[in-house]
Amino acid sequence: KKKAREGCSLPDSSWEERLANAVTPLWRLPYQEQLQVKYESQRKILQTLTSRLEELGIDAQKPGGLCCPLQPVVPSPIVNGYRNKSTFSVNRGPDGNPKTVGLYVGTGKDRNIVCVKANHMENIPPKHKQVAQCYEEFICRSPLDSCILFHEGGHWRELVVRTTSRGHTMAIITFHPQELGQDALATQKALLKEFFTCGPGTACALTSLYFQESTMTRCSHEQSPYQLLHGEPHIFEELLGLKFRISPDAFFQVNTAGAEVLYQAVGELCQAAGDTVLLDICCGTGGEWPGTIGLSLAHQVCKVIGVEVVEKAVEDAKWNAAFNGISNCEFHSGKAEVVLPQLLAPWEDARPLVAVVNPSRAGLHYRVVRAIRSCQAIRRLLYISCKPEGEAMKNFLELCCPPDPRKKLTGEPFAPVVAIPFDMFPHTVHCELVLLLTR
């Protein structure tokens, strides 16, 4: 929202420029300058961490004034059109068309939302734009209204497009049923299928077309199942020599080529040997394919243990392991703060234990941090954060602070060793930070 407001603060700009400035604020800069902007941003984050550690009585400053060396930002192999997933909204456009398919400029709070087509956005690939344009054509032909506000009626809602490097395309259309009966719903689904398989939408060459009835802003498969109208139930992607299936609600890194670079670096930082046990925490959230990190490193460790709250993600991880002939992985479904203490409390395995945590923006639950601190077998920890200035900062301090029995933070503290930023989102201000901690 803040970015959108900033985009709206350029009254002399075209709507396209406002959208680009809101979603991809670095788009005007040459790529090397973008990387420098992100490096300075990550440096400020490490400076904050260093200061906070000093406040805890930890002599954190190393040469250079930071708690650990900060390496240059690792560039994305693909700079334009790198997104493998795009979510398009349906709302009024600058011309007043209530069935515009695009991205928002403005905020609901200020009641100035405008939906702008994303044809000019540099981070979105042409295929996604093509599907969005076809969806707009379809709903403009439809006698049913778009659903701008739930209480005001209307039906056609957002579109999610997913693509893979194998040329697969999945489209997921969200529809508010309002008071429509089953026969009317069946008619709409049939028309949608016909448009994309026999009509103008055939140009999109969809591998999968899904339909979801939803009366909520966000709806899981368990709450309202994804209905396959056409094609294959999954699309497939290859990453680091492994093949992964992608479900409609699967979590995965938005930049496939960038993910390969990231995971290769994680493998090197783990320094895992043949007798190492790898603990992959939150292995299906925070933007990851289910179990991707663990599966990609399975060949260099003796065992992988994955923990993930989304049961469907665990199912996908198990399928991906079996499909790729990987037999040394086990995945546990449940909240990490519940499952992890149960796994680690009785840990008596003498083999080296390396942990990789990859939480969502909300960071790790406090009980997960406590369990990691308490397990002395974990000597090496890699924290992958998509928002290191947020809740992750609190986790860093909890992992590195002196033992505090009052907070049940026992065990030897960790210390940051090196920080490596990865540019997974060119043209935006966002960066993925990998922080290696040891004890």
Instruction: Give the annotated binding-site residues.
Output: 253, 308, 358
Strand ranges for 129-218 from DSSP E:
156-163, 169-175, 208-213
**Closest among 132, 120, 134 to 161, alpha carbons compared:** 132
Provide the token pair at 396: 């860093």
Exposure string over 236-273, b if 16+ CB within 10 A, otherwise e:
ebebeebebbbbbbbbbbbbbbbbbbbbebbbebbebe
Phi, psi of 111, deg, nearest 5: 55, 40
Q: How far apart are CA 112 and CA 320, in angstroms?
A: 44
Catalytic center residues = 386
Nearest to 314 by CA among 330, 338, 328: 330
Radius of gyration of the chain (CA): 23
- Count other C-beta atoms under 10 Å from residue 322's C-beta: 11
Annotated binding site for S-adenosyl-L-methionine: which residue ranges? 253, 308, 358
- Cβ pair 313, 307 in contact under 8 A: no
> Nearest Cα to 254, choosing from 104, 123, 158?
123
Q: Report the distance separating Cα 365 and Cα 378, nearest Å.
A: 18
Q: What are the φ/ψ torsions at residue 55 (nearest 5 degrees)?
A: -65, -25
In the block, which residue shows the tokens 């009509």?
199
CB-count burial class (<10 Å; 0-12, 13-18, 19+) for 175? buried
Going by C-alpha positions, the residue among 437, 433, 358, 359 that lies closest to residue 73 is 433
Quote the tokens at residue 133: 């344009």
- Cα–Cα dist 385/288, whole Å: 12
Q: Write out the two tokens for 91.
A: 């709302």
Question: Got the DSSP string for 259-271?
Answer: HHHHHHHHHHHHT
